[in-house]
Amino acid sequence: MVAIEYMKARQFFPDLSLLKRRTPELAEFAALLEILPNAAVLVEVKQGEIILANARTTELTAYTRQEIREQNLFTLFPELNQKLLANMLMNGYGSWDLMIRKRDGSLLSVQAALNALGQSAQWAVITLEEASSVQQKEIEQELANQRWNALHILSLAPQGPTLDANIKQALQAGQLLTGASLICVFQADGNEPLLQRIACWGHQTDLPESLTLSEVSQLREPYIWMPGKRTLASVHRNALAQKYKYMASVPIDQTNPLDGLIVVADQISQAPNDILTYLQIIAGTISTAMEFDILHQDYLKIQERPPASQLIESPVTDLVNDCIIYLAPDLTILNMNASAENILGYASEEVSGEQIENVLIGTKSLSPALKSAQSGVATDNMGDFRLHRRDGSTISVQMRVIPVEGEEQVRQIIILFSDVSKHEEFRLRTQQLEQQALLGEVTAIFAHEVRNPINNISTGLQLMAMNIPTEDPRHGQIERMQQDCDRLEHLMKSVLTFSGPREYKLEAVDLEQLIQRLLDRWHPRMNRNNIKHRLQAAPNTPKVLGDYRALEQVFTNLLSNAITAMKERGGVLAVVLSLTQDSGTRDMVEINVMDNGPGIPEDIREKIFQPFFTTSKGGTGLGLAITQRIINAHKGTISVNSIPGGTIFHIRLPVCEEMEPITTEGESA
């Protein structure tokens, strides 16, 4: 090693011109010695006189430069003599084990190399390196070679005959790479919510046989545990009990950290600086081996399929809307098309080889139809059949079971089914709309007929009040009855508005101007209830296409509700207008009506747009229902968000681009 380093330094002596002089310049030699990477001395060979020493020599021996120059070469190196010195000169750039005397009198083992300068060999440079340093470099070089060998073995691991053999080879290589005494692999168990220990290299009894998902969730990221750090999982507690110096872990697949884990530990050495990098390399190798194994198993399944299934299954099956499942004669699943995967929530690879009744679970048993198919008899219609999907939801399907025969026996069974849930929902919705239309017609007739008696009662009460003295106590009763009549009249008017068709006169409506007028109208009431208000509109907010009076009713309802919600404690009412787009990239004006009242409880939030639903005393429950109908008729949307301490109504209305007259509630002319 010393000779090699010195050879590198010889580039600084290109022509040895200094040596051609009778007396070399010591300052020039001193500068050259300082360039050398090891301790070095310049000596006069015949007399054994030390001429110069560099700074590394003083560090090695603890002598000063002057003290070194005052010594004889053979005093500094007790084992060196003229004969050995001549031998060293003759053999060139070899190295010798020598002892050098330090300032305190102790001897230090070094490796020395003597290199003659010039043809006369009058001058020579002796370079020195501690034997322990040389040994350390040799150890480091050996460790580097070991790691390169480990990486080479790792690169070959995925190519073995079986997955178990591949993982075992990866762990052996991982032990060489990390130097750890223990390395294990944990993999998710498809039947249990935990990770099982599937392979280990070292004393496997030092680790638990399984890890719970809650433990593994703590180890989603690469992690190094050492004594004194908090234990995140049972493996760390085991390591603490076994007095390990460290334990490191990384997920096998960073995208799915709960699928598997690699753990390494050692009882002697501390963790190498790059331990997590090494583990990630090992994890990548094992992950690749597992993927190769899955592909290999899939290939074997394809090779083992009956010829009939290969003829029937084709890319065309993935293009049809009907769901298709192919079964072997023993009722195990061979394959299913993309439509069946989407409907059921299973991938075809997941259920391949499973019994059909473990996957296709319905409200009725499939057994009769399947037994008939095994006998060669098809079932064309299984009647009303509901299937349970993977997520637990149910769907209505129409199902057929068809046997495929070949060579006088059933070679395959095909199950075809289609989702009819949407048709069922459409039928129920149509029925509900018909019932609602009939109810609306009856309600309108009822409201119209009731208004006349209410008017008669109200007129009679007014006459009674006129004929009774002012101080008569019966005036109070009459006044309360009159208020009830007024409330009934208001309710009947709202019912007629809600249930009856309405014609809208469309025009370009400036919502900022409309809402500002309403806020000015409500200003005195808001002042009395300590409510502040503000209107904010984005620059150049376009007008919307709508009926001015209908939209005025919409925002009157929303502002009135907000003021009512804040009347006890006061607050802020804000209306913000902005330009946005709906999902179809249609330009819309968005209006957010916000208040910081008590909010709408979650249990009633979805009911507020239902007719006759109200939480306020004396309310009809039709205000928001009418508001929603008007917004829908204008081809807009309305929704609400609310938390304790605030409510926001979101309204979207299409901008005024072209006139589309609306003649009846929600219908274009």
Pairing relation of β-strands 409-419 and 507-509? unpaired
Torsion of CA 330, 335, 341, 345, to 10 degrees: 50
The per-residue pLDDT for 508 is 92
Sheet-wide strand order for 246-251: 210-212, 194-201, 182-188, 260-266, 246-251, 223-225
Indicate the average pLDDT of the chain. Answer: 79
For 5-14, b/e burial (b = at least 16 CB within 10 A) is: ebeebeeebe
The per-residue pLDDT for 7 is 44
SS3 state of residue 410: strand
Residue 650 clears pLDDT 90, i.e. is over it: yes
The per-residue pLDDT for 592 is 93
Give the count of beta carbons closer than 10 Å to the beta carbon of residue 524. 8
Percentage with pLDDT > 90 across the chain: 11
Residue whose token pair is 């609310």: 642
Measured in degrees and rounded to the nearest 5, phi and psi for residue 650 equal: -105, 120
Residue from 101, 120, 145, 143 nearest 44 by CA? 120
Q: Which range has highest mean pLDDT (143-147, 209-213, 464-468, 581-585)?
A: 209-213
Separation between Cα atoms, residue 319 and residue 321, nearest integer Å: 7
Residues 341-371 pLDDT 10s: 888 888 888 888 899 888 888 878 888 888 8
Region 366-389: mean pLDDT is: 84
Give the count of beta carbons closer than 10 Å to the beta carbon of residue 242. 15
Helices (H), 529-641: 548-566, 602-605, 623-633
Amino acid letter for position 544:
V
Please, are residues 458 and 489 in contact by the beta-carbon 8 Å criterion? yes
Q: Is 456 exposed, middle or buried (0-12, 13-18, 19+ CB in 10 A)?
A: exposed
Residues 395-423 pLDDT 10s: 888 888 888 887 678 888 998 888 776 66
Angle at the Cα of 4 from the Cα atoms of 95 and 112, rounded to 5 degrees? 25
Considering only 81-90, 292-301, 464-473, 597-606, which range has the smallest mean pLDDT?
Answer: 292-301
Residue 580 clears pLDDT 80, i.e. is over it: yes
Considering only 15-19, 210-214, 279-283, 394-398, which range has the smallest mean pLDDT?
Answer: 15-19
Region 181-196: mean pLDDT is: 84
Residue 75 clears pLDDT 50, i.e. is over it: yes
Separation between Cα atoms, residue 511 and residue 555, nearest integer Å: 10
Beta bridge partners of residue 187, listed in sequence order:
196, 260
Please, are residues 85 and 59 in contact by the beta-carbon 8 Å criterion? no
The per-residue pLDDT for 289 is 82
SS3 state of residue 503: coil
Separation between Cα atoms, residue 85 and residue 25, nearest integer Å: 24
Say how far residue 3 (Cα) sits from the centre of its chain: 57
**Which helix (DSSP H) or strand (DSSP E) does residue 650 occupy?**
strand 646-654
DSSP structural state of residue 12: G
Region 365-392: mean pLDDT is: 84
Residues 474-491 pLDDT 10s: 877 887 787 777 767 766
Region 303-330: mean pLDDT is: 63
Percentage with pLDDT > 70 across the chain: 76
DSSP characters over 91-132: T-S--EEEEEE-TTS-EEEEEEEEEEESSS--EEEEEEEEHH
Residue 447 clears pLDDT 70, i.e. is over it: no
Residues 6+ apart with CB under 8 A from 138: none
Angle at the Cα of 173 from the Cα atoms of 172 and 177, rounded to 5 degrees? 120
Please, are residues 565 and 524 in contact by the beta-carbon 8 Å criterion? no
Residue 308 clears pLDDT 50, i.e. is over it: no
Region 379-388: mean pLDDT is: 79
Residue 649 clears pLDDT 60, i.e. is over it: yes
Q: Which domains does the chain have, with CATH numbers?
A: 2-137 (3.30.450.20), 160-299 (3.30.450.40), 307-415 (3.30.450.20), 424-499 (1.10.287), 507-668 (3.30.565.10)
Residue from 54, 63, 55 nearest 104 by CA? 63
The per-residue pLDDT for 660 is 46
Separation between Cα atoms, residue 485 and residue 483, nearest integer Å: 5
Please, are residues 394 and 419 in contact by the beta-carbon 8 Å criterion? no
Residues 199-254 pLDDT 10s: 888 766 678 888 888 888 888 889 999 998 888 888 888 888 888 899 999 998 87
SS3 state of residue 578: strand
Residue from 553, 552, 593, 591 nearest 574 by CA? 593
